[in-house]
Amino acid sequence: MSARYGMVIDLDRCTGCGSCMVACAAENNVPPATSRATPRTGLTPMLVRKVSNGADGAAKREVFIPISCMHCGNETPCVSVCPQQAVEVDKATGIVMQMPQRCLGCRYCMVACPYHARYFNWWDPAWPAGMEKSLNPGVAVRMRGVVEKCNLCHARLHSAMEKAAANRKKEIDPADYIPACVEACPTGAILFGNLADKNDGVFSAAHSPDAFRLLARLGTEPKVYYKSGQAWVRALAERDSERAKESEHV
Amino acid sequence: MSELLVVDRRWIARGAERSSTTRFLLWLVPWVALLALGIYAAGLCLYYGLNQTNMDNRFAFGMWIFLDLAIIAMGAGAFFTGFLVYILKQADLKPILNSAVVLGFICYSGAVAVLMVDVGQPLRAWFTFWYPNTHSMLTEVTFCITCYLFVLILEYIPVLLRNRQLRKVPSFLVFEHQLHHLVPVLAALGAFLSFFHQGSLGGLYGVLRGRPFAFRQGFAIWPSTFFLFILSAIAVGPSFLILVTAAAEKLTGQKLVQPGVFRKLGLISGLLLGVYVAAKAIDTLIWLNITSRAVGFAPWDFYSYKPFGSALLFLEIVPLGLLPAFLLTVPLTAKKRGWLLCGAALACGGILLNRFVLTVQTLALPTLAFDEFLKYIPSWQEVASFAGVIAYGVIVYSLSYRYLPMFGRVKGADTNVSVG
Amino acid sequence: MFPWVDGFHWSVGHIVFLSLFFAVVLTILSTLLSAVWRTASDFRTHRATDMCWQMNFAELPETERRCRHQLAGRVLSRICDNAFDCRHCLKYAEFAALPVKTPSKNVGIGYSNQLLYHRGHTWVRPESDGNLTVGLDELAHHLIGRPDSVELPVKGSEIESNGIGWRMRKNGHEIRVRAPIDGTVVSTGGDEEGWYLKIRPRLPLDLRHLLREAEVPGWLSSELDRLQLQLSASKSQPCLADGGTLMPELMDALPAADWDTVLEATFLEV
């Protein structure tokens, strides 16, 4: 299999409810924030940003932009900078894999990522008594001092592959592999699939005229696309002209 | 107590003028206290984790990385002086070579110590050696700095073994002699390693496609910051050496080197600084007008946030670049100690600013169009850790000065300790 | 990565990087090992003692490196450039032929015309059986007095010229006395016997580097001048001495003096 898994997120459908963030945290065993954590020291592999067009009154427009790892396909910034190859691009799936067990915690990848999609474990993970029962057994818990990020719910891909192998199939059933954020979104704003497969819905969505990518001119070839009919959103994302005056985290 | 004084005196070279034991201990006390505080702060970070600092996901690199880069640039005086003496045969710089080695040792060991606290999992440091990523500048930095630290230790050992008491052990003295013979090899090796890691530290930022403020084009795999960092390091190394030696002369009340040594170091520093400023100016123009525009970043996008306005760029190039280059080379000012020191201090300031801009400003600036400009103030643990490193440096330098032959015979001075 | 680690694949980058790295590591290691190896071989081939002496001699102050011929009044001023090894000095024959100008006064310390003196304040007396007796000279005796302990080399061991002959301890100071000649220790004496070592010398016997007869007073006189300066109570100027003899047991008589400096200068240590 040589897939290129990616997503197309319809910004005109995203309501900013944050279900994707919660589902991601639950799926990936993200520990609850300590009392001293701030928005800048939190662990949010999926993060929904609220962005405004900067106008006032009736002209004001806002949009919610969910940001996760873009799984950059070309000269992936984080892969080339990691001193001990704790990140690599999986050739079979196009997923940028982070290995927390090998991570030294130097944070160079965090500096390199233009999308700020990488998060550091500033604290030892700790769950209140009893809450450890909610941990997902398929995903390893990370330790303090390492970097983590979205890995497109690779554990679910793994389960899909095991299921296919058990059924003596070579390819996985796409319906078996759906990342947690995609599954949780109530408006179906996130479309997930194999960008290398022309028959996959995500392929045509990514190539539609409304689709764009963040900071496309940097040339990192992210595999997360966004879709919006609003021109100001597109201009903002590609960073061609004016900038938003405010932004907030959800 | 008098026993202690006699024993202490025994370790100081015969005939060398050093302050009394009591006075020396009094001098050490505040530095030891600062070092203890630094160790405590570092201990907190190692025990509780990096949440003890004010770094966060957006400011993943903070004060420590900035100061590490600065300290390694200043420590370039060690390899560069060795290069000048052994490879370019500038024998009149020989008297300052030992102290340059000690200073280099202090800078690099301090930087490595801080780096061990800065990473999230210090015990995994060996992973870089086992799984090196040949595409990463940080791998290159790690390898080179580790090797170079060993080279510095090997260069420091002969100085250590010429201590009055240690040299009485025959095997130490003979070993020192044999190691001393091989110092030109170490000097060449040090120059080679330093060339690469000083450059790679610049390369760390120059390759960041995702940070247009830092990203530069260059030659083959090396961005222009690679070469600019080497140039700035060899420019500032001699200046830092001048400053530290002048401070040592002031504190000890002794003439440690001939004035000609200061002037020569100043001249070399000034000339290199001039070349660096010219190269940087060209690089800045290319970066602002070609490189950044190609990815949609307008040049003054980088400078519209207070306090990081374009004045900072001007400051780096003119008052802290051209001006010290001028002060250090032009005989009118270079001949006068006061102006020379002023030039050296400005040069160091310029390089400090350059490292700061590249580490802190890069992270403060937004990349995504809807990001904000961020602020970061280091926590007391970060400041204390680094203050501890400075204290460590002062202690090692003081001990080395007191008990080891750091400087050669100066005509007119009464010491009878010589450099081998 | 190393070839045996899982996931490794060769690339130009790997070859260049790893070969450079290993070249550097090898150079560092071989430098260190070479120094260690050469040190060991220096000891094995008995060059170590001479090397230590050469290095120490080079760092003695000029006033302690005066040529014996200057002290003997044969030449006006000369600093030894041969580590006191007159046996291999090109100028020795030329200078030795010149007349000695001895000081007319009594130097203030005893010496004997029958003994040969080493600059490290030991004397050598050739015996009829071809062996040499080695002892401590009067000046050193007057400084030290009765040593608290003496550590002599064992019978049969080798001593090397300018290496450490024997050690003594006095008032908490360790005195390392330099051996005046090369040879094997035949028997040992002590403070009471008046001699310390009987040596079977290494042949061919060459004692040219030892001071004798008329050369000795000039040397002793300069040594006493040095002692006067070094044993002064404070940083006062040297006083005009009008003769007199050196007091015995000076280490006991002047406990407050800087004995580390005095002893190192007397016994040719840095």
In this complex, do A80 and B204 lie within 8 Å of one another by their Cβ atoms?
no
Span B236-252, pLDDT tens digits: 999 999 999 999 999 99
Fill in the amino acid letter for B266: G
Return the closest-CA partner of residue B382 out of B46, B41, B32, B48.
B41
Span B278-327, pLDDT tens digits: 999 999 999 988 988 888 888 777 888 878 888 999 999 999 999 999 99
Return the closest-CA partner of residue B359 out of B39, B73, B78, B48.
B73
Q: Is A142 helix (H, G, I), strand (E, B) or coil?
A: coil
* pLDDT at residue A235 tops 50: yes
| Among C16, C21, C26, C164, the residue to mutate for chain B (most B Cβ within 10 A) | C21
- The answer to whether residues C31 and C62 belong to one domain is no
Q: Which phi and psi (to 5°) does residue B221 adopt? A: -85, -5
d(CA B315, CA B317): 6
In this complex, do B154 and C24 lie within 8 Å of one another by their Cβ atoms?
no
Contacts of C38 in chain B (CB under 8 A): 178
- If pLDDT is split at 50, 70 and 90, which confidence band does A240 have? low
Please answer whether residues B40 and B384 qualify as being in contact, where contact means their C-beta atoms are separated by less than 8 angstroms. Answer: yes
The alpha-carbon gap from B230 to the nearest alpha carbon of chain C, in Å, equals 19
Q: Which of A24-38, A194-208, B330-344, C105-119 has the lowest mean pLDDT?
A: C105-119
Whether the CB of A97 is below 8 Å from some CB of chain B: the reply is no
d(CA C112, CA C212): 9
- The answer to whether residues C84 and C192 belong to one domain is yes
Span A66-110, pLDDT tens digits: 999 999 998 899 999 999 999 999 999 999 999 999 999 999 999
Q: Which of residues 352-411 of B touch A (CB under 8 A)?
A: 362-363, 366-372, 374
Span B38-51, pLDDT tens digits: 999 999 999 999 99
d(CA B274, CA B266): 12
Q: Which residue does chain B place closest to C43, by CA atoms?
A: B171
Q: Which residue does chain C place closest to B415, by CA atoms?
A: C61
Q: How many domains does chain A have?
A: 1
Task: Output the pLDDT for position B120.
Answer: 93
Q: Which of A135-139, B11-15, C106-110, C168-172 has the lowest mean pLDDT?
A: C106-110
| Among B208, B295, B368, the residue to mutate for chain A (most A Cβ within 10 A) | B368
SS (H, E, C) C189-212: EECCCCEEEEEEECCCCCCCCCEE
- The answer to whether residues C168 and C211 belong to one domain is yes
- If pLDDT is split at 50, 70 and 90, which confidence band does A242 have? very low
Average pLDDT of A40-64?
Answer: 93
For C36, the domain range is 1-45
Whether the CB of B305 is below 8 Å from some CB of chain A: the reply is no
In this complex, do A75 and B209 lie within 8 Å of one another by their Cβ atoms?
yes
Contacts of C16 in chain B (CB under 8 A): 134
Q: Which residue does chain B place closest to C39, by CA atoms?
A: B175
d(CA B328, CA B268): 8
Average pLDDT of A148-164?
Answer: 94
The alpha-carbon gap from B172 to the nearest alpha carbon of chain C, in Å, equals 9
CATH of the domain at A83: 3.30.70.20
- The answer to whether residues C138 and C33 belong to one domain is no
DSSP A175: G
Average pLDDT, chain B: 92
Whether residue C204 is preceded by a cis peptide bond, meaning omega within 30 degrees of 0, is yes
Q: Which residue does chain B place closest to C14, by CA atoms?
A: B134
In this complex, do C176 and B134 lie within 8 Å of one another by their Cβ atoms?
no
Whether the CB of A214 is below 8 Å from some CB of chain B: the reply is yes
* pLDDT at residue B414 tops 50: no
The alpha-carbon gap from A174 to the nearest alpha carbon of chain B, in Å, equals 32
Q: Is A161 helix (H, G, I), strand (E, B) or coil?
A: helix
The alpha-carbon gap from A69 to the nearest alpha carbon of chain B, in Å, equals 13
Please list the ranges in chain C whose pLDDT falls under 50: none
- The answer to whether residues C38 and C61 belong to one domain is no
Task: Output the pLDDT for position C136.
Answer: 95
In this complex, do B173 and C25 lie within 8 Å of one another by their Cβ atoms?
no
In this complex, do B6 and C55 lie within 8 Å of one another by their Cβ atoms?
no
In this complex, do A102 and B131 lie within 8 Å of one another by their Cβ atoms?
yes
In this complex, do B192 and C43 lie within 8 Å of one another by their Cβ atoms?
no
* pLDDT at residue A138 tops 60: yes
| Among C18, C55, C258, the residue to mutate for chain B (most B Cβ within 10 A) | C55
- C18, C28, C52 member nearest B174 (Cβ): C52
Contacts of C258 in chain B (CB under 8 A): 9
- B182, B193, B420 member nearest C31 (Cβ): B182
Task: Output the pLDDT for position B370.
Answer: 87
- The answer to whether residues C74 and C198 belong to one domain is yes
CATH of the domain at C262: 2.40.50.100
| Among B370, B376, B377, the residue to mutate for chain A (most A Cβ within 10 A) | B370
Fill in the amino acid letter for C65: R
CATH of domain B2-13+21-403: 1.20.1630.10
Report the DSSP beta bridge partners of residue C198: C133, C187
- B49, B137, B207 member nearest A124 (Cβ): B49
- The answer to whether residues C224 and C101 belong to one domain is yes
- The answer to whether residues C142 and C211 belong to one domain is yes
d(CA B306, CA B365): 11
* pLDDT at residue B416 tops 90: no
Average pLDDT of B194-223?
Answer: 92
Task: Output the pLDDT for position C248.
Answer: 87
- The answer to whether residues C182 and C139 belong to one domain is yes
| Residue B212 zone, left/alpha/beta (φ > 0; ψ -120 to 50; rest) | alpha
Give pTM, 2 decimals: 0.92
* pLDDT at residue B177 tops 70: yes
- The answer to whether residues C39 and C60 belong to one domain is no
Placement of tokens 């793994």 in the chain: A158
In this complex, do B170 and C52 lie within 8 Å of one another by their Cβ atoms?
yes
In this complex, do C38 and B186 lie within 8 Å of one another by their Cβ atoms?
no
Q: Which residue does chain B place closest to A242, by CA atoms?
A: B369
Average pLDDT, chain A: 91
Enter the ipTM: 0.91
- The answer to whether residues C59 and C16 belong to one domain is no
Task: Name B191's Cβ contacts closer than 8 Å, sequence gap at least 6.
Answer: B79, B80, B82, B83, B87
Average pLDDT of B187-193?
Answer: 94
| Strand ranges, E, within chain A | 5-10, 47-52, 62-67, 87-89, 96-98, 119-120, 147-148, 190-194, 211-212, 224-227, 247-249
Span B115-136, pLDDT tens digits: 999 999 999 999 998 888 888 9
d(CA C217, CA C104): 9
pLDDT: is B270 or C9 the higher one? B270
Q: Which residue does chain C place closest to B130, by CA atoms?
A: C1
Return the closest-CA partner of residue B363 out of A242, A235, A40.
A40
Task: Output the pLDDT for position C2.
Answer: 67
* pLDDT at residue B73 tops 90: yes
Contacts of C176 in chain B (CB under 8 A): 168
Task: Output the pLDDT for position B6.
Answer: 83
Q: How many domains does chain C have?
A: 2
For A160, the domain range is 5-247
Take residue B36 and report the two structure tokens written for it.
């203890």
Q: Strand A5-10 and strand A224-227: pairing? A: parallel
Task: Name B72's Cβ contacts closer than 8 Å, sequence gap at least 6.
Answer: B107, B108, B111, B145, B197, B198, B201, B233
d(CA C221, CA C240): 14
Span A106-123, pLDDT tens digits: 999 999 999 999 999 999
Task: Output the pLDDT for position C17.
Answer: 84
Count of CA atoms in the C-beta half-sphere (13 A) of A139: 28
Task: Output the pLDDT for position C209.
Answer: 93
* pLDDT at residue B398 tops 60: yes
Whether the CB of A76 is below 8 Å from some CB of chain B: the reply is no
Task: Output the pLDDT for position C241.
Answer: 62
